Structure 1
């Protein structure tokens, strides 16, 4: 898997500035004030730094933004990156500044002059998050960045503050790798094997094979994968960090490793992006990895349904009727509305087996949520105001966009079937909502539940503050924060 760029924390040593290779990033507060080491840097640059700080170009920089001064005289470095970050900056702005630095790291190494900035730990988190690059399938010379050194006045204290964030970065990178992998690599076999390997971190991992799923009555999930050469699986990951015997929080993820749409086949244009249709399962896996790495004091179970939706002579057809583990029958109107069939059975299994204190599911479920919210926000649906509000608060604290969507009986009525208990689609209008209403039918009475439709946020076509274009890892930060704030002992 991809690993974060190594970041070391070192006491400020002005003597190394002249000989430092690669890049030097220097934090500048409001008004252009400089610390002692930064003033030394300016002296080595023959006043070029202070002259820039007095320019109109610096005045236009917003907090968290940066400007390069290329090949500065008096230094061995290829560039000095001037980063605007006020002393009173919030965590989000510090991460943004780190992202700017992380996007432009040098293979010769990068020295970040943070001195006594109170947000140095958050800055390092932003650097690590943005320095991600997915390269396992590229040939030729790798251009990995060199080590990053944060020069700070109190390196041990900053390193201690940054330590827990390292587990978050690992979880996000694991999620991004899974979402970015092509489907000929990330089969259901490979996906399950990667999750099984996390037992080394202390997770209890169990893989349920097709014969077991058939015995459990998971007809909805198994119907989706009938046209694929690779078998469907359910992987259960348990983290026992809380009080013994206390009910866990259940996280459930859709893991369609490739979605052709089945017999209701998708258009060819853009189908290559359907390698990301396992994004919900990837987020669940990334959260479980983070919890294990930081030894979270909570009981959490992560369950993912792994299938491939392919069209062949055995594939389910529009008009077929399948029976869910719950016992309800479903008329399959559109085989491209397959994710909700997978989730229906895994949601029921999670509640039936673990009796959790709450359930949160994640899925790249509908194109309709992209129409509604674009790529800025995940759609949030819930039957429980307290759990939903806690999640929205956690997402806001971590800078992960989320917006609560409505639900109601009128939407649920659109799922009525002439020949079965329900249809798997309810028409084009309100498509993300009717999908959520479908899932709600598989949530037991009085069970707090949140559904996250991440179709627009799991993979994006342009760089974001903390990620290059491609997989974002959206949701790992928010769910980790929710667990820390609400469920840890």
Structure 2
């Protein structure tokens, strides 16, 4: 990612970026000898002030050598984020951005986040490129110190989630993921990690997690990451689905559907990233992240359609489709969180269903909750962060679809709306926290097929930014 530095305004010999808003170009930052050329360039451009629009003016043998005119639209944080992302994609770094003296702190945060997020590159399988630097020319750097620190921590947490999700499953299995969680939390203040290995999972009754991971050469794990700052009055538990690869099990997926199944642990990656990010920001809220990790594979030890599994909380599920494994491991984790952790609020993130994408497309997650206040706060945090979610219903008359003749529940009934029924199934494991629980089905927005805005092609780290915004006010 780009490295962000700050400096007082001064003459620039290389590349200078100046903002263009609804009122035109920032004339205070514009060198006087460029006024005429800039006016001519903007007059010939289509909506030059549109957020994310960038005009380039080369100036051979002059200072600055290149001028970038970056549109910031109406000046919202989202518009500044779009401007930062567009500047990062110019390939002109290193460069200096002249920030208007009256820019609000949220604008500078948006600019910095856009610059860093859009310049992310996954490099685990390639030679890492050198990080380029961008300088923000600020008249009063101290005024923006908190905004820039928040942007940097948010971008780093998102990059962690993207890295984990992008990593090929030839390297990524439950044991590997557990080790990455230890490494990520090692330098985070007030943070500790516990890992359950198969023997402990069996002893404590995580029957569904063991069944889902039973077909793999690498057994499942359960990871708990605790961030416990002094004086915290609210305890939030975050649960993330962590299927490191999903073949569909014996209900095997078509080949094309398996190609991106390395992303099926995107919920766990986002939850881990948000927890480590909250610790870096020293947010005054206690957070426990619970990551059920498994690889859903095909072998003689794989669980089968018709099996009945016993969950951590004692409930049983009749299996009809082994490709509905994510809700099973989440059910164990949610039951554990309710019984053992007793949080004030419970939120889970999961790349759970393809139905999410059919209903809402690639850029919206589905949000479920019976708590209007919690749902509103999470949706608002997502909107501010640039991660959109749409609240979906939890119809009472659909609950009957979960009824089984052999067990307490059907995890994947053949009738009913896929994403909705999956959420209703998960709600059955929230116990006394039913009215303080929210679920994000974020399979579609967890992956981007192309670079767009602050997103790069591949894993998006969806959910990290939403959770950090929300946790800051929890």
Matched, 1:146 2:135: no
Number of the residue aligned with 2:384: 397
Are 2:364 and 2:390, in contact at CA under 8 Å, matched by a contact in 1?
A: yes
Cα distance between partner residues in 1 of 2:198 and 2:259: 27
Number of the residue aligned with 2:108: 120
Are 1:27 and 1:83, in contact at CA under 8 Å, matched by a contact in 2?
A: yes
Shift in Å, 1:162: 1.2
Cα distance between partner residues in 2 of 1:376 and 1:224: 29
Measured against aligned partners, the alpha-carbon deviations of 1:427-482 in whole angstroms (never above 9, x if no partner) come to: 25401111111111111135411011001111121223211121111111111111
Alignment gaps of 5+ in structure 2? none
Matched, 1:456 2:441: no
Q: 1:301 to 1:380 in 2, by over 3 A?
A: same
Shift in Å, 1:189: 1.4
Number of the residue aligned with 1:156: 142
Task: Give the TM-score normalised by structure 1.
Answer: 0.91
Cα distance between partner residues in 2 of 1:160 and 1:359: 28
Cα distance between partner residues in 2 of 1:145 and 1:195: 24
Q: 1:63 to 1:143 in 2, by over 3 A?
A: same
Measured against aligned partners, the alpha-carbon deviations of 1:8-54 in whole angstroms (never above 9, x if no partner) come to: 1111112xx2x32xx432212334343333134617xxx4223212x
Per the alignment, in what secondary structure is the counterpart of residue 445 of structure 2?
A: coil
Matched, 1:7 2:8: no
Shift in Å, 1:242: 5.0
Per the alignment, in what secondary structure is the counterpart of residue 269 of structure 1?
A: helix
Matched, 1:137 2:125: yes
1:329 to 313, 316, 320: 316
* 1:29-44 equivalences in 2 (<5 Å): 29-40=21-32, 42=34
Measured against aligned partners, the alpha-carbon deviations of 1:233-287 in whole angstroms (never above 9, x if no partner) come to: 110011112536x451100010000000000000001412000000110010010
Q: Which range moves more in the overlay, 291-300 or 120-129?
A: 120-129
Q: 1:120 to 1:384 in 2, by over 3 A?
A: closer
Are 1:9 and 1:158, in contact at CA under 8 Å, matched by a contact in 2?
A: no
Q: 1:343 to 1:113 in 2, by over 3 A?
A: same
Q: 1:41 to 1:13 in 2, by over 3 A?
A: farther
Cα distance between partner residues in 2 of 1:428 and 1:367: 15
* 1:197-346 equivalences in 2 (<5 Å): 197=183, 198-202=185-189, 203-241=191-229, 243=231, 246=233, 248-346=235-333
Q: 1:50 to 1:74 in 2, by over 3 A?
A: farther
Shift in Å, 1:304: 0.4
Q: CA RMSD in A?
A: 1.9
Are 1:180 and 1:275, in contact at CA under 8 Å, matched by a contact in 2?
A: yes
Q: 1:75 to 1:428 in 2, by over 3 A?
A: farther
Are 1:5 and 1:147, in contact at CA under 8 Å, matched by a contact in 2?
A: yes
Cα distance between partner residues in 2 of 1:29 and 1:445: 50
Number of the residue aligned with 2:170: 184
Number of the residue aligned with 2:455: 467
Number of the residue aligned with 2:468: 480
Cα distance between partner residues in 1 of 2:248 and 2:33: 58
Are 2:363 and 2:444, in contact at CA under 8 Å, matched by a contact in 1?
A: yes
Alignment gaps of 5+ in structure 1? none
Are 1:99 and 1:465, in contact at CA under 8 Å, matched by a contact in 2?
A: yes
Cα distance between partner residues in 2 of 1:166 and 1:62: 26
Are 1:205 and 1:236, in contact at CA under 8 Å, matched by a contact in 2?
A: yes
Are 2:238 and 2:288, in contact at CA under 8 Å, matched by a contact in 1?
A: yes
Q: Which range moves more in the overlay, 282-291 or 423-432?
A: 423-432
Q: Which range moves more in the overlay, 296-305 or 98-107?
A: 98-107
Measured against aligned partners, the alpha-carbon deviations of 1:335-379 in whole angstroms (never above 9, x if no partner) come to: 000000000001011111111111000100001111111112100
Per the alignment, in what secondary structure is the counterpart of residue 192 of structure 1?
A: helix
Are 2:401 and 2:416, in contact at CA under 8 Å, matched by a contact in 1?
A: no
Number of the residue aligned with 1:362: 349
Cα distance between partner residues in 1 of 2:158 and 2:69: 28
